[in-house]
Amino acid sequence: MNVQAHNHFSQRPLYIAGPCSAETEDQVLCVAHALHQAGIGIFRAGLWKPRTHPDAFDGVGEKGIAWLNKVQHSTGMAVATEVATAEHVRICCNAHIDALWIGARTTGNPFMMQQIANELSHYPATDQPVIMVKNPISPDLDLWLGAIERLQQVGIQHIIAIHRGFSTTASAPLRNQPIWSIPIELHKRMPHILLLCDPSHITGKAEWVATVAQQAICLNFDGLMIEAHCDPAQARSDAMQQITPQELQTMLSNLQFRQQNKVDAELLTLRQQIDETDEQIWQLIRQRMDIARQIGQYKAQHNMPVLQNKRFEQVLQKRINWALENGISEETAKQIMHLIHEESVRMQMPDIPPHKIG
């Protein structure tokens, strides 16, 4: 990585933007110049696109490398593209592409990750690109950590993690669920790895990108990777989620950065109320478990099975309805009730120690 690219990657917040796919030379240069005008220092465009269906546009491949080199030379921007194989890595490293990202479908594949890491290890540290590791498709922190560890093991110096949401069965309107606790835990385990958010792939919808970007900034992410296209409706991949460079500029200028850490009497009072409320919640959980134990005794005396699915479904539905009426998400209500139920069931099987369950 040269000095100029290094400077772009030293910016905080760190912004990376560009189209989902490189489509034509004109399209790449049009977006890059508009983004450069908007103050963006790092350009992204996918050359090899992992698509779900075999007939979908799967990228222009190696011929797009020359277009990215043109972006570097004509704007001074750093450029990034996705790699999924050792061959992609070799092509990009030889062409001095400044940064590579590992897509969600590749992070979750340890063999591919190892091949990519091995290929990168052949280049001297000064020639190595920045490597950005998107989270795997499934909400699996260990797979994400493991992919990063494979790169660390071969001595890659500049590694960034990108949170692009997880594919789940949740009925939420987003394309990929953010499950913020996972990137937050990744940051706890690897505090020296920069953490970016990709709100484009989380939302799947241009109108919501700004909101999720703001959420990431509220959670202290180091920056954003955002898909931008001069004519989103005509994009050959991810048309629904791309925004124009103009919209991106407006969005970034509206982001609110909160840097104060002022703890005054008002906040202390509210925190005290939180502590008191938590105490009540815990008292009630204990009370619920006492009752569950009594029910366990009843079931044992009357030869009834511990698990009563029909009853639990009724309890669950009642709480989901209540949650929805009170502005709490269905997913959260489900998770809380499943945890409480699991513990209640355990209370009714007192011989099994908790750490043996699951």
Judged by the rule CB under 6 A, the positions of this chain that interact with ligand PEP are: 20, 46, 50, 103-104, 134, 164, 201
Nearer to Mn ion, 27 or 344 (CB): 27
**CA-wise closest residue to 86 among 154, 149, 163:** 154
Residue 98 interacting with Mn ion (CB under 5 A) = no
What are phi and psi for residue 80, nearest 5 degrees? -140, 145
Structure tokens at 19: 């189209």
Residue 82 interacting with Mn ion (CB under 5 A) = no
Structure tokens at 112: 């591919």
What minimum distance in Å lies between the beta carbon of 139 and Mn ion?
19
Residues 6+ apart with CB under 8 A from 312: 341
What minimum distance in Å lies between the beta carbon of 20 and Mn ion?
3
Left (φ > 0), alpha (ψ -120 to 50) or beta: where does 168 sit? beta
Per CB under 5 A, the list member of 17, 20, 113, 213 interacting with Mn ion is 20
Structure tokens at 67: 């277009």
Cα distance between residue 327 and residue 325, in whole Å: 6
Total residue length of the chain: 358
What minimum distance in Å lies between the beta carbon of 177 and ligand PEP?
13
**Strand, helix or coil at 265?**
helix
Cα distance between residue 113 and residue 159, in whole Å: 14
Residue 80 interacting with Mn ion (CB under 5 A) = no
Binding-site partner at residue 84 among Mn ion, ligand PEP, none, CB < 5 to 8 Å by type = none
Kindly write out the interface string for residues 206-245 of this chain, putting x where it contacts Mn ion by CB under 5 A and - elsewhere. Answer: --------------------------------x-------
Considering only residues 237 through 296, tell me which ones interact with Mn ion, judged by CB under 5 A: 238
Binding-site partner at residue 134 among ligand PEP, Mn ion, none, CB < 5 to 8 Å by type = ligand PEP
Nearer to Mn ion, 81 or 128 (CB): 81
Would you say 348 and 342 are in contact if contact means Cβ atoms under 8 Å apart? no
What minimum distance in Å lies between the beta carbon of 34 and ligand PEP?
19
What minimum distance in Å lies between the beta carbon of 237 and Mn ion?
6
Residues at the site binding Mn ion, with contacts judged by CB under 5 A = 20, 238
